[in-house]
Amino acid sequence: MRYLLDTHTLIWLMTDDNRLPEQVKESVLYCQDDYSVSSLSLIEILQLQQGGKITFRDRPATVSRLLSEMNINIEPVSVDILDHLYDIDIPRTPFGSHSDPFDRIIIATAIKRNMTLVSADTKFPWYQQHCGLHLLHI
């Protein structure tokens, strides 16, 4: 099975946060499935670090090396993913619209690459119901 880790899921994995289910952590660490992250997640982590929103302080090159050691691939943001994003509506829900560009590109990556997105984000099930996203909601 092919999985794409959402940014917060990656942070939880790298910081050994107990919000990441043990089953997911073990699957990643023991290479039981094929795991990737979007290159956009590295940018998002850097932005969160510089904004003081996370204390996880590894540099992008260090994060990339750690991912390689865990056999986690980095999926690049490419034109075909952006082109697919163009066709995905921005949902308007009772809780407001979901226009976060990081989330939406990660979602488009999972859909376009036929991967299951691993996330705890409560807005993502809409994409599962309306856009064909395969979602492992943790």
For residue 20, what are the contacts with CB-CB under 8 A and spacing of at least 6? Answer: 9, 12, 13, 138
Domain ranges of the chain: 2-137
Closest of 39, 61, 48 to residue 12, by C-alpha: 48
Closest of 134, 119, 117 to residue 3, by C-alpha: 117
For residue 16, what are the contacts with CB-CB under 8 A and spacing of at least 6? Answer: none
Cα 84 from Cα 88, distance rounded (Å): 7
Domain topology for 2-137: Rossmann fold (3.40.50)
Does the model's pTM come out above 0.85?
yes
Question: How confident is the model over 49-60, as pLDDT tens digits?
Answer: 999 999 888 888
Question: How confident is the model over 52-99, as pLDDT tens digits?
Answer: 999 888 888 999 999 999 999 999 999 999 999 999 988 876 667 778
